[in-house]
Structure 1
Amino acid sequence: MLKYRGKWRDSSSTVPADRSTNWRRSNMGFAFWSGQRVTMASLGVAMVLATGLAASHAQAWTITARGTITSNGNYSDHAGLFGAPDASLIGLPYSATITTDPSLNSNIESDTPTFHSTFGGRGISTSTGRGARYILTVTVNGILYVLTESNPFLNRSYLQSVRQPSGDQVFQDARSLGCKSAYGACTDWHINAYSSTVPFLPSLDFNQSLTVSEALNPLSELYFSFRDAEGQFTTFYGSISTVSINQIQFPSFAAKAQIDLDGANNDGFAVEAQFRLGVGNNGINPLSETVTIGVGTGNWSIPAGSFKPNGSGGFVFQGFIGTTGLGVRIQPRQDGSFGFGAAGAHANLTGTGNPVPITLTIGDDEGSTGVVATFY
């Protein structure tokens, strides 16, 4: 629960004056603190070195896909994994993250300048050995599902970059060991994020860090299928609004939002949030890092160099991204967390409904949550 202790006292809480709208002000609970690039070490908190998959191999990668569930597949939530049994999941936001090490898959399918792929496990007939261990987390309806699989039936990772025509693809497929049988527990899923027109991969290195939103083809998808020990299923397909590789997730990200739907390119919003940086972070510096904000169906990337210091140790942006006027503030707090606030006007939030997905990416750090917003 956020505690709000005072007014947001500078102009960054409003949209640019020349195209501003009457906006409902809200209280911002930001404690002021000095400094620019803020790390856990600079706050006197001992850094805990990252362990496990992400730190043990240079080729380890963590992929996160976020979007909205578009289809129940064959079963909807029959198993009740994310709520009441048999409930439809259509329209709910989701977040799915896998951490694995493609270099530990037993087979190198390709290692060319345009296609880098590895696979392992008995789920592919040509496989000669084991698939790499992975950890999968999926959040729907505020409910978290976690699976750690040390001997997967299938693990396949690849990056593809095709320049004729231009286009890139990020793909991760995995099936738990139980999927070798038609009975018993099994989790089968994949992320397929691609563009057929925009090359968004700087390289085919599994160890790179990036976040992609606008460039993705609308047909990019997440597929998820869960079967419990009794044979009950939960399945869904989801669109992908954002895919990120090797971004450090916020361990906590609490938010609240107000949404004003007045028609395409005339919608407004206000968001307040509090977050903490994850283990292994190197701090944040919005002065030199790209900041991307997602509210419902809207997404805005603020280029590096656009923020300015606010004189209180924080960072502010006021300007236009596309047709949307934005006022954004990021403020470190004395307890090591950060306050975040954003207000926007002349946005297009068509299709946004509760729960509203809220995302924030700052450089290689990011977080997401779903909130029950107040609509006007």
Structure 2
Amino acid sequence: MKLKKLTASVLAVLMVLSLSACASKNVKWIATDNGKQIPSGIYLTYMLNAYSQAMGKIADKDKNVLKQDIEGVPAAEWIQNKADESLKRHIAIENKAAEQGITISDVERSYIDQQIQYQWQFMSAMYEKNGISYDSYAAVSQNAYLENMLFEAQYGAKGKTPIPDADILKAFQEGYYKTMYVSMSLLDNEGKEKDEEAQKKVVEKADEVYAKATAEGANYSDVILAYEKEQAKAKGEDESTVHEHNESSHVSFIPKESEGYDAEFLKQVGEMKNDEIRVINTGNTVYVLKKLDITQNPLDVENYRTAVMKKLKGDEYNKTILEWADATTVEYNAEAKNLYTPSKLKF
């Protein structure tokens, strides 16, 4: 579980790019760190990530990114600066981990590689065509994993300045909603809105589940299980294959500050009382949701410990990494540095 928590936000950091220039043997490495050559593919990945950030910051979404300014400077310069900063951060993390004797174990590396290989099978053709190898792709993910390990070494239970368990539990209980729900989409399999009649049937089914869940003596978990078996049967599937339920089935912990949920949805959940059940029709989804008491089981925090720790100490830790990066001197390969510019990136 710890392995999954550490990699939760690590492996989704790469996107597809195309580089118009052909790389010569002299530009396969972008810089050196203590005599060790750093592959240009690592730098290109960080440059693309910066380009993606720039797309979210420009004023005119319909206009060429590189023809606009970001934070008072030309976008190309802003992207280049971000890529440079990211490479310094990458090197600083590698060096700091080595200094503290922190390494990725064989077991951890095997787990990380499995995740990377899964992603690689979908993206390898484009990356390889543009000179980005599997090793460069993997190096960025492994560096992010090292960053998490350094965080644990500082703030974890056995770290230099551990965060008290009481503080973690308090932040968790104050920052999350504990819920149990079923969701029903108002979209078809192609992601388009269902017609009016089909949407009406979805709402009616949600109301039906709500009525059963709020009936005297009802157990919502049992109601959900019955609903799942009904849906399986409607699809021609064997209803006996529906997963067995336990006390944690369909329990979800929703961050109170989350971009992954509709704002109106979060507002309504926030208004609910513990054990209240409500039909929430928001966005393209209808929820039949029960709000649970998050203070009843302190052990709930364990699966969210890392996320809560990052919430409490993330800014402080990031400041520390920036200090490491600022103290890092990068010796660039001038030929590669001049070749790999934002104007060469193509989506």
TM-score (norm 2): 0.23
TM-score (norm 1): 0.22
Bigger helix fraction: 2
Higher relative contact order (CA 8 A, sep 6+): 2
Higher gyration radius (CA): 2
Bigger strand fraction: 1
